Amino acid sequence: MYERYGFEPLETPAFENIETLLGKYGEEGNKLIFKILKRGEHEASGAADLALRYDLTVPLARVVAQYQNELPKFFKRYQIQPVWRADRPARGRFREFYQCDIDAIGSTSLVVEAELLGAVSEVMTTLGFSDFVVRLNHRGVLTALLEAAGVAGDKHGEALVALDKLDKIGADGVAKELASRGIDSGAASTALSFFSVVEEASHATLARLKSVLGDHAAVRDLESIVALAESTPAAGRIRIDPSLARGLSYYTGAIMEVAVPDLAGSLGGGGRYDNLIGMFLGRDVPACGFSLGLERIIVVMTERNMFPASIAHGAVDVMVSIWNDDTRADAIALAGELRRGGLRVDVYPEVEKLGKQFKYAAGRQARFVAILGDDERARGEVAIKDLVTGHQESIARAGAGDYIAGRLKT
Amino acid sequence: MYERYGFEPLETPAFENIETLLGKYGEEGNKLIFKILKRGEHEASGAADLALRYDLTVPLARVVAQYQNELPKFFKRYQIQPVWRADRPARGRFREFYQCDIDAIGSTSLVVEAELLGAVSEVMTTLGFSDFVVRLNHRGVLTALLEAAGVAGDKHGEALVALDKLDKIGADGVAKELASRGIDSGAASTALSFFSVVEEASHATLARLKSVLGDHAAVRDLESIVALAESTPAAGRIRIDPSLARGLSYYTGAIMEVAVPDLAGSLGGGGRYDNLIGMFLGRDVPACGFSLGLERIIVVMTERNMFPASIAHGAVDVMVSIWNDDTRADAIALAGELRRGGLRVDVYPEVEKLGKQFKYAAGRQARFVAILGDDERARGEVAIKDLVTGHQESIARAGAGDYIAGRLKT
């Protein structure tokens, strides 16, 4: 799906120079980075010079800075690789997990945001999700709302950390935390009223934002993104959510998340980060991306029983049994004939009672067992037993592959 | 292909507990393992508790020991994942590289060796290799030949290290090294005559081995493997090579390598290792496996120009250009329509001169550009320009996807 949206595949090494990663994810992030000990004579120093990928965005920024002269003006890449965080494991959260990222580098056009949201929504729909929501906000809206509420500029960061917990601790909890962080109670209560999410259509939220902020560039951006996304599979999915904050470290514009009702947190998120590449390159390059979390998607799809039955099948279509020592080579040859048609074929390795071989085949969820007994071999046939129906019949050997392939479809 | 041979997919984490890996690869291997620093309060200790996968075999042995009660009696798994070695990079040799492994656990039957060689040979043939050779030897043959030559038992390891260099330093070089390692010159010269490779058919080598070793179990094993493999795609590929030694640390039976003339070393190798799992489990479990090195295969295929042209194509079939600000949403909608048919579609993100947009499309190796001008839109059409032939025509919009898909096949 990412390729259909014009993204090219990219893989980067599992580890980066440690300086590339440090300082990009905030203080908490730094602590969660797996660091690799120097090798050889320097090992005894106990110092680290490499570190495992913490996400796919910072390695991309490093690649863009390093290969700037070889990349197209607009560079669109997708990357599906594991990342590592020394986090405490929880439901859908592991120390090694896969991110599925798309990023578009080089353009400030909001067509980029619309296309990203379209791609991610089409992935979700194709996987079978019908109840996901795309939450959309803008870094500029967050700042403007805090200003309008009267929160002092140097308290914006602290206010957002508190307001980001609205989902989890409710308005009263956030009010207390705002007070404890030294934010004026009048400003705090105004900010809370701005950020409290009302379930409403995007145009209603946009109107509300305009009534507070007037004709603001960030609100116009949101309006355009929603309008452009109406021509994509994200149509009808987007909910403008002024309380969406995300990790604020490198985002500069639109921020977005995909969520479903039955999983706290999100299945993925992203946003615009126009300054990150500049940290490596010395000049800013606009960029916007989105990352889906594979394991969280798998957790929800598993709990909802969304995987098609075909995926739950065993790894073997047919197991060729072994009649006796002398027919081993012929059993191997039969397996080769069946594989030619694309079947997944196992050969029982040892000469044992057929009952034992059948039991093993059933345990591996093989659908069929092929038997090359003396009679069958004499007639140029092979006996095929269907382990699901129990039906067994002798088939001309040359037609055995087609017979099994046909029965597999039933 | 591995699935057709009845192997199930397995992935293991990038890192293992450091004790799992240390001591499994010999002294040299230990030095090449990437070690991960402890986290949190223990980071300052400079000690490592985790290490990156060095191969896929030891992690498999750990998995088999850990999940022994949940795995089938014969466990056949394939695993295609990166491994890491702190080695000096060279042609086809990287610090991070992919191994493509198949292993069959639980059986001592030589059907296992034959099926492994069949699978690997079919992979090679399917990739387009017509000149590969499967070198085959047996740990028991190596030991028996050294004994027959009169090399003292405690010198076998040293003798094999020297004899393993026959390819690189020739018979004279090996003779010198054997002498420097304190091996009696008469024994050394006899051993050299046994191990010197003569290009000959397997049955001739087997006859020669029998004349030296008599009726030896390891020779009978090789004979059976060759006979069984004649029923697989390895037929005619196998050359018994008494000088093949490989890393001897964990092999116990047959050892094998796949090689092509234009790459020193091998494209992959494997063998039987009936004791490795016992190092984790406390009781031995028979096992045999083979590993193909992805990057070395890619190096040779690239140098030989073996990749089909279709792989060299750009990542985009058609780029939708942007006419003006007002038609951005319509351009995005057209991209969605074209994607529905499976095309890979990029949307130019910005409103710029068409010439610039065409230049970018050509740079991305897009085959077609779609133009939604005012005239085309008024007629419900879209102009499609073929960047290869230069031909441009207007097509009814509803048929544009089929038109492009049809032209792509030409």
C-alpha distances (whole Å) from B189 to each of B159, B171, B209 are 12, 9, 17
Distance to chain B for A151, nearest Cα, Å: 35
**Shortest CB distance from A232 goes to which of B322, B332, B344?**
B332
Mean pLDDT across A333-357: 96
Sign of the Cα pseudo-torsion (B223, B226, B227, B229, in order):
positive
Average pLDDT (B336-347) is 95
Q: For A379-390, what is each residue's pLDDT tens digit?
A: 999 999 999 999
DSSP per residue, B120-188: HHHHHHHHT--S-EEEEEEHHHHHHHHHHHT--GGGHHHHHHHHTTHHHHHHHHHHHHHHHTT--HHHH
Looking at chain B, which residue has its C-alpha nearest residue A327? B228
User: A329, B228: Cβ pair inside 8 Å?
Assistant: yes
Whether B316 sits inside 8 A of A232 (CB atoms) is no
Give the percent of chain A with pLDDT over 70.
Answer: 99
CATH of the domain at A330: 3.40.50.800
Spatial CB neighbours of A211, under 8 Å, sequence gap ≥ 6: none
Q: Which of residues 20-39 of A touch B (CB under 8 A)?
A: 31-32, 34-37, 39
Res. A362 pLDDT band, cuts 50 70 90: very high
The residue-averaged pLDDT of B86-109 equals 93
Which residues sit opposite A291 in a β-bridge?
A101, A269
From chain A, pick out residues whose CB is under 8 angstroms from the CB of B350.
Answer: 107, 109, 111
Closest CA to B156 of B193, B190, B189, B181: B181
CB A91 within 8 A of CB A64: no
Section B37-56 average pLDDT: 94
A231 neighbourhood in chain B, CB within 8 Å: 329-330, 332-333, 336
| Residue B255 DSSP code | E
Give residue A315's pLDDT: 84
Rounded to a whole number, what is the distance in Å from the CA of A148 to chain B's nearest CA?
A: 32
Q: Which residue has the higher pLDDT, B199 or B233?
A: B233
pLDDT of residue A163: 86
Q: For position B248, what pLDDT does the model report?
A: 60
**Nearest residue to B193 via CA among B175, B219, B177:** B175
- The contacts of residue B285 (CB under 8 Å, 6+ apart) are B64, B68, B105, B106, B274, B277, B278
| Cβ separation A339–B227 shorter than 8 A | no
Query: Residue A93 gets which letter from DSSP?
Result: B
Q: CB A48 to CB B37 under 8 A?
A: yes
pLDDT top residue among B142 and B163:
B142
Residue B303: CB atoms within 10 Å = 12
Best of A83, A111, A226, A237 to substitute, by most chain B Cβ atoms within 10 angstroms, is A111
Q: What is the DSSP letter of B93?
A: B
Whether A234 maps to a domain, the answer reads no
Asked whether the predicted pLDDT for residue B74 surpasses 80, the reply is yes
Q: How many domains does chain A have?
A: 1
Say if B318 falls within a structural domain.
yes
Cβ contact, residue pair B86, A39, below 8 Å: yes
Burial environment of residue B210 by CB neighbours within 10 A (0 to 12, 13 to 18, 19 or more): middle
Q: Among partner residues A4, A109, A350, which is closest to B349 by beta-carbon distance?
A: A109
* Burial status of residue B89 (CB atoms within 10 A of its CB: 0-12, 13-18, 19 or more): exposed
Nearest CA to B43 out of A18, A39, A14, A37 is that of: A37
B112 to chain A: closest CA residue: A349
- What is the arithmetic mean of pLDDT over A271-283? 93
Domain membership of residue A345 (yes or no) is yes
Q: How far apart are CA B373 and CA B351, in angstroms?
A: 13
User: pLDDT tens across A3-20, in order?
Assistant: 999 999 999 999 999 999
Average pLDDT rounded to a whole number, residues A248-274: 91
Test mutation, B98, B334, B350, chain A, max A CBs within 10 A: B350
Q: In terms of Cα–Cα distance, which of B73, B77, B61 is closest to B278?
A: B61
Q: Is residue A396 part of a domain?
A: yes
Q: Rg of chain B's alpha carbons, rounded to an integer?
A: 29
> Would you say B56 and B97 are in contact if contact means Cβ atoms under 8 Å apart?
no
Please answer whether residues B370 and B338 qualify as being in contact, where contact means their C-beta atoms are separated by less than 8 angstroms.
Answer: yes
Does residue B314 or residue B159 have the better pLDDT?
B159
Residues above pLDDT 70, as percent of chain B:
99
- The residue of chain A with its CA nearest to that of B341 is A4
Helix, strand, coil content of chain A in percent (nearest 5)? 45, 20, 35
Residue A310 zone, left/alpha/beta (φ > 0; ψ -120 to 50; rest): alpha
* Residues B58-73: tens digit of each pLDDT: 999 999 999 999 999 9
What is the mean pLDDT of the segment spanning A34-45?
94
A316 in reach of chain B (CB within 8 A):
yes
CB contact under 8 A, A114 and B332: yes
- Ramachandran sector of residue B23 (left: φ over 0; alpha: ψ -120 to 50; beta: rest): left
Question: What distance in Å separates the CA atoms of residue B40 and residue A86, rounded to the nearest whole number?
Answer: 9
The pLDDT-based confidence of A157 (bands split at 50, 70, 90) is: confident
| 3-class SS of residue A25 | coil
pLDDT tens, A78-103? 999 999 999 988 887 899 999 999 99
Backbone torsions φ then ψ of B119, nearest 5 degrees: -65, -50
In B, residues 213-242, which contact A (CB 8 Å cutoff)? Answer: 227-228, 230-233
Q: Which two tokens stand for residue A293?
A: 């979390």
How much is the pLDDT for B299? 93
Residue A196 has pLDDT above 90, yes or no: no
- pLDDT tier at A195, thresholds 50, 70, 90: confident
On the question of pLDDT at A168 being above 70, the answer is yes
Residue B234 has pLDDT above 80, yes or no: yes
The residue behind tokens 């669109």 is A76
CA B171 to chain centre: 31
Q: Which residues in chain A have their CB less than 8 angstroms from residue B14's CB?
A: 14, 52, 82, 84, 96
Nearest CA among A244, A247, A246 for reference residue A24: A247
A264-273, A294-303, B162-171, B358-367: the lowest-pLDDT one:
B162-171
Q: What is the mean pLDDT of residues A56-62?
A: 96
The CA distance from A46 to the nearest CA of chain B, in Å, is: 4
Distance from CA of B348 to the nearest CA of A (A): 8
Q: Rounded to the nearest 5°, which phi and psi values hold at B3?
A: -65, -35
How many Å lie between the alpha carbon of A74 and the closest alpha carbon of chain B? 8
Averaged over A289-294, what is the pLDDT? 97
In this complex, which of B50, B72, B230 lies closest to A364 when CB atoms are compared? B72
Nearest by Cα to B256 from B138, B89, B107, B358: B138
The residue of chain A nearest to residue B45, with distances taken between CA atoms, is A46
Q: Return the number of CB contacts < 8 Å for A and B.
A: 189
Q: Mean pLDDT, to the nearest integer, of B221-239?
A: 96
Supply the Cα-derived Rg of chain A in whole angstroms: 29
Between CA A73 and CA A347 the distance in angstroms is 53
Going by C-alpha positions, the residue among A99, A63, A66 that lies closest to residue A81 is: A99
Interface of A with B in 322-361 (CB under 8 A): 322, 328-333, 335-336, 339, 342-350, 360
Q: Nearest by CB to A36, which of B36, B107, B344?
A: B36
How does the average pLDDT of chain A come out, rounded? 93
Task: Round to whole Å and give the CA distance between B114 and B230.
Answer: 8
pLDDT of residue B312: 65
Q: Do B336 and A233 touch (CB under 8 A)?
A: yes
Are the beta carbons of A74 and B232 separated by less than 8 Å? no
Q: Model confidence over A304-331: pLDDT tens digits?
A: 999 987 776 678 999 999 999 999 999 9
Write the ipTM: 0.90
Closest CA to B236 of B142, B136, B304: B136
Residue bearing tokens 């038992």:
B153
Cβ <8 Å between B72 and A360:
yes
The pLDDT value recorded for residue B199 is 72
Is B107 within the bounds of a domain?
no
Nearest Cα to Cα of residue B102 among B3, B249, B244: B3
Q: Are B187 and B168 in contact (CB under 8 A)?
A: no
- Between residues A351 and A248, the one the model is more confident about: A351
Q: Cα–Cα–Cα angle for A271, A273, A274, nearest 5°? A: 140
**Sequence-distant (≥ 6) Cβ neighbours of residue B272 within 8 angstroms:** B113, B139, B251, B252, B253, B254, B255, B286, B287, B288
> What tens digit of pLDDT does each residue of B319-334 get?
999 999 999 999 999 9
Q: Which residues pair with A104 in a beta bridge?
A: A76, A288
Local confidence band at A401 (pLDDT 50, 70, 90 cut-offs): very high
With respect to residue B353, please indicate whether it lies within any of the assigned structural domains: yes
Q: Which token pair is A291?
A: 């990352």
DSSP B391: -
∠ CA A382-A310-A398, nearest 5°, is: 20
Q: Which residues between 50 and 89 in chain A have a beta carbon less than 8 angstroms from any beta carbon of chain B?
A: 50, 52, 72-74, 76, 82, 84, 86
At residue B249, does pLDDT exceed 80?
A: no
For tokens 């096949």, the residue is B409
Answer yes or no: is B339 within a domain. yes
Residue B282 C-alpha, separation from nearest chain A C-alpha, in angstroms:
24
CB neighbour class for B389 (10 Å; exposed up to 12, middle 13-18, buried from 19): exposed
Alpha-carbon gap: B107 to the closest alpha carbon of chain A (Å)? 7
CB contact residues (below 8 A), chain B span 37-56, against chain A:
37, 39-40, 43-48, 50, 52
Residue B390 has pLDDT above 90, yes or no: yes
Closest by Cβ to B349, choosing from A112, A227, A339: A112
Prediction pTM value? 0.91
- Any domain includes B229: no
Across B375-402, average pLDDT: 96
The 10s digit of each residue's pLDDT in A123-152 is 999 999 999 999 999 999 999 999 999 999
pLDDT tens sequence across B254-309: 999 999 998 888 999 999 999 999 999 999 999 999 999 999 999 999 999 999 87
Residue for token digits 């496996």? Answer: B289
State the DSSP code for B295: H
Answer whether A109 sits within 8 Å of B350, measured CB to CB: yes
Beta sheet of A318-320, edge-to-edge order: A345-347, A318-320, A368-371, A381-386, A392-396
Residue B352 lies in domain = 314-408
Beta carbons of B364 and A72 less than 8 Å apart: yes
Chain A residues within an 8 Å CB radius of B104: 349
Ranges B196-200, B220-224, B338-342: which has the least confidence: B196-200
Confidence band (pLDDT; 50, 70, 90) for A373?
A: very high
Q: Residue B228: how many CA atoms within 13 Å on its side-chain side?
A: 25
